[in-house]
Amino acid sequence: MVEFSPDSEAFRSDRAGIFRALRDEAPVYRSPDGSFIALSRYDDVTTAARNWDTFSSALLGEHPGLELMNLVDPTAHTDLRSNISRAFSPQRVLDLEPEIRAIARSLIAELRSNGSGDLIRQFTRPLTTRVMGTLLGFSDEQVTLCQSLTDAAMYEDPDVTAFVPLIQELVSDHRASPTDDLTSALLGLGDDGGEALSESAILAFCFGAILGNNCTTMNSLSNGIWLAADHPEQWRELAEDPSLLPEAFEEMMRCEPPTHSSQRVTAEDVELYGETIPAGTLILLLWGAASLDERAFDAPERFDIHRRGDQHLALGWGTHFCIGAALARLEARVAFEELVTAFPRVSVLGAPERLPSPWQWGFTSLDVAFAG
């Protein structure tokens, strides 16, 4: 009997095997304590992610005083998301490229002088933290505080209340002295005659963006380097032709996605494989299991930078598809371009320890040796 518990040692040591067993033996998996049902096959996960009226996010409950986008269904969700997207626009993301590159280069210069180091402490963590600091307009002290809050959030189910004082301070600083960063743009959304964004929606979005970037994007980069070190011939190919990097990053996310699952609640009874899932059941959509489904991908456990893997589910699917996808992809392209150019050879030292986190897949540290 397969057992799925994302913060167990058994899961950390055989994630792909447990996902396979779930898909093959228990596509409607009931947790032993009956608290949730997990869906793991590609078709089931994508169908549920599209059908928000049956698999609801709003029924997950509210967070008092915070309009969290992932706890709202259409049409309220569509309105909120399109309003935020006016400030968090594609152009605002693209404009970050020179700053991301400058940060990546300065971190690589330090790594290069040593020839080896902990890639998380010395590269992926400071890179993503500083990028979010630039995007939202944090002071240096706020960046430091934000980082310690995110570090703590990685090890448990993230609690927005820990972040509220920091984000409130960020918002009041920006109300007093607006600049041209994202926080000011969110605060100014009503100025052009469009709909203004409530302070609770701004707080909630900043929280989601901080976690999405400082935990999830960070882990996606570390997981990618780990895969690259495990497949040196593919890393060498990327060094020879960095234009392959965007596709390679999609494949990295397909194979080692940082977010295990997202939650929904059934709004009505659902029949699946002859079983009835009652209305009101907590559902986990297992993005990682579905992205390794042999019903959807050929030899899914093989890492192949030439695969057209853009149908993976690491960034979600449907209504709540990751709003930060363009930012994550930009950070990854720039980070990997700089890394692969500086270090065409990379190897992992020792056996890195997996992150004991209920919601993130990554490493606590990743000691690597680089060669130019």
Interface residues with ligand HEM (CB under 6 A) are 69-70, 81, 208-209, 212-213, 216-217, 220, 257-259, 262, 287, 314-316, 320, 322-324, 327-328
Rounded Cα distance between 84 and 67, Å, is 12
CA-derived radius of gyration, the chain: 21
Cβ atoms < 10 Å from Cβ of 239: 18
Residues 6+ apart with CB under 8 A from 256: 220, 223, 224, 226, 227, 361
- Per the CB < 8 A criterion, the answer to whether 309 and 247 are in contact is yes
Closer CB to ligand HEM, residue 212 or residue 309? 212
In the complex with ligand HEM, the residue whose CB is nearer, 117 or 257, is 257
Minimum separation from the CB atom of position 312 to ligand HEM (A): 10
Query: 9 exposed, middle or buried (CB, 10 Å; 0-12, 13-18, 19+)?
Result: exposed
**Closest separation in Å from C-beta 116 to ligand HEM:** 25
User: How many CB atoms within 10 Å of residue 301?
Assistant: 12
Residue type for position 103: I
* 282 HSE (CA, 13 A, CB side): 10
Determine phi and psi for 56, rounding to 5 degrees: -90, 145
- The CB-of-50 to ligand HEM minimum distance in angstroms stands at 11
CB nearer to ligand HEM: give 344 or 358: 358
Which residue lies nearer to ligand HEM by CB, 255 or 315? Answer: 315
Nearer to ligand HEM, 147 or 349 (CB): 147
- Give the ranges where 69-195 is alpha helix by DSSP (H): 76-87, 90-94, 97-114, 119, 125-136, 140-154, 164-176, 182-187
Nearer to ligand HEM, 213 or 281 (CB): 213
Say how far apart CA 173 and CA 154 lie, in whole Å. Answer: 27
Q: Tell me the β-bridge partners of 272.
A: 275
As measured in angstroms, the least distance from the Cβ of 319 to ligand HEM is 7
C-beta separation of 113 from 105 below 8 A? no
Closest CA to 24 of 8, 46, 5, 1: 1
Peptide bond into 75 cis (omega under 30): yes
For ligand HEM, the closer of residues 137 and 324 by Cβ is 324
Q: How far is the CB of 262 from ligand HEM (least distance, A)?
A: 3
Looking at beta carbons only, is 323 or 339 nearer to ligand HEM? Answer: 323
Q: Indicate the residue among 110 and 311 with the shorter CB distance to ligand HEM.
A: 311
Which residue in the shown chain puts its C-beta closest to ligand HEM? 324
Instruction: Quote the least distance from Cβ 264 to ligand HEM, whole Å.
Output: 8
Helix (H) or strand (E) holding 368: strand 367-371
Least distance CB 93 / ligand HEM (angstroms)? 9
Query: Is the CB of residue 150 less than 8 Å from the CB of residue 162?
Result: no
> CB of residue 115 vs ligand HEM: minimum separation in angstroms?
28
CB of 237 to ligand HEM, least distance (A): 22
Count of C-beta atoms within a 10 Å radius of residue 194: 12
Q: Which is nearer to ligand HEM, 321 or 371 (CB)?
A: 321
**Nearest approach, Cβ of residue 286 and ligand HEM (Å):** 11
